[in-house]
Structure 1
Amino acid sequence: MCIAPKNPSEATIAANRAAADKYDMANRQDFADSRRGLIADLPGNVTGADGHVVFDAQAFDYIGDESPAPDSVEPSLWRQSQMIRPGGLFEVTKGLYQVRNNDIANLTVIEGDDGLIVVDCMAGVESARQGMALIREHVSDKPVAAVIYTHTHIDHYGGVKGVVDPDDVASGKVPIIAPGHQFDKYAIGENVVAGNAMARRAAYAFGSLLEPGPQGFVTCGIGITTTAGPEVSYISPTDLITETGTRREIAGLEFEFLYAPDTEAPEEMHIWIPQLAALTCAENANHTLHNIQTLRGARTRDARNFARYLDETLERWGDEAAVHYGPHTWPVWGNENVTAFIESQRDTYKYIHDQALRLANKGFTPLEAAEVIELPEELGRNWANRGYHGTLHHDVRAVYTKELGMWDGDPVSLHPHPPAESARRFVEFAGADNILAEGRRAIDDADYRWAVEILHKLVFAQPDNTEAKNLQADAYEQMGYQAEGPQWRGIFLSAALELREGVKPMPFTTASKDTILGMPIDILFDFVAVHVDGPKATDVDLRIDFAFTDEDETWTMWIRRGTLNARRGTSPDTQLTVSGPKGALTAVLLQPGGASALVDSGAVSLDGDAEALTTLGSVLDEFEPAFPIVTP
């Protein structure tokens, strides 16, 4: 069943036209900058090994360079999408190039004397491979001398096997440079251990379930799109940057790093290349306000640290920087423009942090503060501070979460009933007919926020009530059309889609083969532990040793009191020892029922009671990637 989206209401059309008046629409500099230095257009679609289209190069042609915003797209979001649509190979400055907009993130390549340095690798192997082909054709065929990950997010390392041969990394020929003491832990732990929930939420936020078009998906705001079913790869870093001021000479160029942990990612760094006067602040400075708390779900970030490290960057290199290039969107040129850009981003994050805590200290709850805090005009009218990734509203609330925790301070929210039970009680006293009538009235009056709130009670109390679901979908749809933030748009329009048509299959998962195999062993056991069904495992007493023959490590894992723990070493009372390389033991841990086939093939060996694996398999839970969101 496919139900066509509805048209924007008269109220939505009026709201979007009025929104344009508050923006600096006369400022056209970004139109020129986003197209500056184009060497070659994208050659066409990006396809996977099985022939499926990973990125459709024509899907966004409807976003014309000069076309006005459709009535179903907020005008600021439409303008940002016009900046993002042009894709291809660009020269940023002599010796520094970017492939943009065949993936959500950029591929940056710097040409040294005798090699290429790749800074961030896009999300998927296929898009990165297409990007490198453009570099080879139009710039240089020199070998890759180094790969640099600026931070721990999947769209910056996922394409690594599209730019470098893993054997060259393993041999030491090509280093992979990355920030932090525990890059593997944060890169893989964040994206995989809670990855099923994160991927489901991300499918909403990034519009992965929506068709491109004026009444569906527009762009991601920071990049053209999340690609469809890419091959996500991973290679662990070989050279970790843990101190500001660390330098590396690569292919005749000097790179200096500023370590910026607990900012946009748990591990992140800024990079200065003095010979090129080129600077990147990774994702701590963007052509958008960033997330202090992602809507896909990740650790809450420190807005104060964004400002602190941006200021330190200005202090170190602000007088010299001639260009700022980022892993998303387009560069900024000219020292005056670069410093103004970073200063404005710095002050925006500092303002959000300070004003949220000012109001917290006056007794405001997170939602109350988010409703009243607005950026000063000089910051708010700067296009780079608009909410194309984070939004001011949810960033304010995230500061509360970071500094004060999950409780909003109101006792009524401390121990509420779960949503379905609360909804059932609400509908019992208010009456389903009364709620439907109020929902219709609110929609007729364009009071969409109240409409979805009141109808949520009825949908959760009566999930088979088609009229209630369709009404709520209508309200969510109009909210999506009015949203400046593409993630808000994606969430609201995806909610409308699910209410009308039911849960859709998930287009991707974060738990790719490479990311699972790349897990440090302690994270691997954490990943298995979140699959343990506690009630089923309550009476289990199980201990298994796992000997990782290729890593020369043995770990003992035990389940007692419904809990899985693991530590290095062997146990004198183990029931079973499983030996083999990490890849094979990973398969045993996640699918114990397949162990016998691995034993038969010689991949693993067992010493002890093989029934211990049967017991392990009996208490492991499975996750449904496409779980319901807008119904119980």
Structure 2
Amino acid sequence: MKVSTHLILLFAAFVCMVCISSSATAFEPEKVGVNPELEDFTAGFFPPKILNVTDGVYVARGYNRDNPVLIEGTDGLIVIDPGESIPAAEIVKEAYNKKLNNIFETKPVKAIIYTHHHDCHIHGASVFANNDTEIIAHENLNLTLYSDWFGQVYPSRADGGVKMSGSLFANDPDWFAGGGLFATQIRGPSGYLPPTKTVKDKLETNIAGVSITLLSVPGETRDVLVVWLPEKDTMVQIANYYQAFPAITTIRGAFPRNPLDYIDSIDVCRSLEPEYLVLPHGPQPVVVGEENISRMFTNGRDAIQFVHDQTVQNMNKGLTPGEIMDVVKLPPHLASDPNLQEYYGQVDRDIYEIFWWYRGFYSGKARDMFPQSPAEEAEMAAELAGGVDELTDKARNALDEGNLEWALVLADDVLLLNPENAEARKIKNSAMISIAENTPNAQTRNYILSEYLLETKQVTLPTSGNPKLTFATMEERFVPLLPMDTLHRIMAVSLDASECLDKEITVGLQLTDMKNAKSSDYALYVRKGIVEIQPEVPEDADFTITTSSMVWKNMVLGKLDPQKAVSDGKVNISGADSKAFYEFMALFE
């Protein structure tokens, strides 16, 4: 594959431009093998196809990271989860038109339904919508949109999302083997449209002559909706049951998920006894037959409950997550279920997530009370091995013996102590490629190969480790919707504490366009390493900033230079000269 400078979109809940470049002409190695089980699973997404579920219900399988669903009514259409980007949605729309006699030219889209806020389900909306299209979502969608993704941890989750999805090499068929729940990525600008109608617990409605019930079913996120078509005996379900073992929390990083929510929500779906099931993720998105669907749902919820209950039981016996991992195995009938294979989530990872959900990081053992930095652990390993050279030999022996995870860790320990150790780098690289080739888990494969490419400098990700740059790449359409509380949390975690440990600064903020809002005036207190923001303008402010909410948002996000904002007349400073304002804004990385 030829590698050149190009733009991709960060995977974190939302679309964010980054530049990936390489000085090399091809990835090394040129081809990475694929675990046969993962290869067969991913092959199920091809060729992309429009599938007829039942009368008037269709699903577009394999065109992008989700499977957009189309429902035809008497005088209009309903689109569920319109895709990951504008170009992805355009491809899906064209495929539907080709299959269904230009259906989007003959009937208007009456409604678009978002099943939840993850980016592959919301960013194609503008392609299907017209001025009268209703956008329906859970009432928590905007909350989770900005707290879980475009909030204070956005840079970390965006970075993790790029790696977990395989975006760095998704266009290279010799490297990419899918994402577990998808096989194709089509990045591009967002066409997200905010909801015009929201659902709290349940909504029964009729759209274009189609009876629809929307039910809140939290699990993977807190804003999940299941779509039930009672007259068609059809369910569209996502985010609680997949055709792969679930990830209670993904390795890209996500808001903590209550494992019992998955079980309760699957039980809600199971109780409706659908004859047709549509899955907006997965290679076989159409399941037919009440008995088949009931068995799938039952095994899915039983697998989660088994891992949950056995984890808690052993936790109560005093076992640590690692010890629980050694004793908790799925029963044979669940372990052999083709829909519960570890292409996405893994039992051992879910054990850790469940343990942490209830207890946090501390296992209860004295040895785990004292967290060690990676460098400290590397020093300990070298001491036990007899030195760095001996540790390198141990890493090589582990690789030669097929202990790939040991080889990876031991070689990485050497590199922490001696980054220029060529032998350790070679061992680590070999271990990473071999793990990627052997794992059936797409998350593991993509993350490890991404780290390999970044560490060997075959690609660069300029936003990685640079939160300010990541915040600055937030698409313009999302900035007006950004809540002020979320913006000020971003500001708080962006403060360079080392530059203000001896400072106490009080700044007033007046937003001229928010007089009817909950608060248009704020006090910004920088106090010895932290910033506290209160809804008031203090009388003793060192100076006051007066501007509009959009200018303030763009300055905090790094989209607008403070000096330019002042020179353009968009910001007024009273009580001090502009230099004090510039110095204040420079405290935020």
TM-score bracket for the superposition, by shorter chain length: 0.7 to 0.9
User: Where does 1:380-459 land on structure 2 (aligned, <5 Å)?
Assistant: 380-428=335-383, 430-459=386-415
Worse-superposed segment, 149-158 or 548-557: 548-557
Checking the alignment, whether the CA contact within 8 Å between 2:32 and 2:433 is kept in structure 1 is no
**What amino acid is aligned across from residue 480 of structure 2 in structure 1?**
L
| Deviation of the 1:283 alpha carbon | 1.5
Partner of 2:216: 259
1:95 lines up with 2:48 in the alignment: no
SS of the residue 2:411 aligns to = helix
Q: What is the TM-score with the length of structure 2 in the denominator? A: 0.85
Structure 1, residues 71-108: CA drift from partner, whole Å, max 9, x if none?
93222211111112321333222212222323211222
Residue 121 of structure 1 aligns to a residue whose secondary structure is: coil
CA shift, 1:455, in A, is 1.7
Q: Which residue of 2 aligns with 1:127?
A: 88
CA distance in 2, matches of 1:596, 1:436: 52
Q: TM-score, normalised by structure 1?
A: 0.80
Q: Distance in 2 between matches of 1:481 and 1:214?
A: 14
Q: Which stretch of the first structure deviates more once superposed, 285-294 or 108-117?
A: 108-117
Q: Deviations over 1:227-286 (max 9, x none)?
A: 44x21343332322112x42122222222122123x111221212111222112222111
Deviation at 1:225, TM superposition (A): 3.4
Could you tell me how far apart the structure 2 residues matched to 1:144 and 1:565 are?
46
Helix, strand or coil at the partner of 2:111: strand
Q: What per-residue deviation string (whole Å, max 9, x for no partner) do you get for residues 353-403 of structure 1?
A: 111112212222112222332211221211211122211121111111111
Query: Cα 1:331–1:544, aligned 2, differ >3 Å: closer, same or farther?
Result: farther
Aligned to 1:58: none
Asked if 2 retains the 8 angstrom alpha-carbon contact of 1:103 and 1:123, the reply is: yes
Question: How far apart are the structure 2 equivalents of 1:602 and 1:108?
Answer: 48
The residue correspondences of 1:318-333 to structure 2 (distance < 5 A) are 318=273, 321-329=274-282, 330-333=285-288
Read off the aligned partner of 1:542 and give its amino acid letter.
Answer: T
CA distance in 2, matches of 1:184, 1:473: 41
Q: Offset of 1:513 from its aligned partner?
A: 2.9
* Cα drift, residue 593 of structure 1: 6.5
Change (3 A) 1:118 1:423: same
Counterparts of 1:418 and 1:2, CA distance in 2: 38
Deviation track 1:411-431 (CA, whole Å, cap 9, x = no partner) reads 223223311233235425531
Map Cα deviations across residues 442-477 of structure 1 (whole Å, 9 max, x no partner): 111111122122222111111221210110111122
Which amino acid is 2:49 matched to?
G
Offset at 1:514? 2.8
1:225 matched to 2:225? The reply is: no
| Ranges in structure 2 where 5+ consecutive residues have no aligned partner | 4-14, 21-30, 465-469
Question: 1:480–1:492: 8 Å Cα contact kept in structure 2?
Answer: yes
Q: Secondary structure at the match of 1:585?
A: helix
Contact 2:504 2:525 in 1 (8 A): yes
* Aligned residue among 479, 492, 495 for 1:529: 492
Tell me by how many angstroms 1:523 deviates: 1.1
For residues 124-180 of structure 1, give each alpha carbon's deviation from its aligned partner in whole angstroms, at most 9, with x where no partner exists.
122112222333453343222122111121221222233325xx3xxxx33322113
Contact 1:235 1:518 in 2 (8 A): no
Q: 1:557 to 1:155 in 2, by over 3 A?
A: farther
Name the structure 2 match of 1:17.
Answer: none
CA contact (8 A) 1:256 1:271 kept: yes
| Number of matched pairs | 545
Task: Quote how far apart the aligned CAs of 1:555 are.
Answer: 3.7
Q: Structure 2 vs 1, CA of residues 390 and 444 (structure 1 numbering), >3 Å: closer, same or farther? A: same
2:296 to 341, 358, 373: 341
Percent pairwise identity: 24
Match of 2:114 in 1: 149
Structure 2 residue matching 1:529: 3-state secondary structure: helix
**Correspondences of 1:491-530 after superposition (within 5 Å):** 491-501=447-457, 504-505=460-461, 511-530=474-493
Separation in 2, partners of 1:550, 1:619? 26
Query: 1:10 matched to which residue of 2?
Result: none
Q: What's the counterpart of residue 8 of structure 2? A: none
Instruction: Call closer, same or farther: CA 1:147–1:605 in 2, change over 3 Å.
Output: farther
Cα 1:405–1:341 change in 2 (3 A) is: same
Q: Is the 8 A contact 1:254 1:274 kept in 2?
A: yes
Counterpart of 2:156, as a letter, is A
Post-superposition CA distance 1:322-366 (Å, at most 9, x none): 211122121211222222221121111111111111221222211
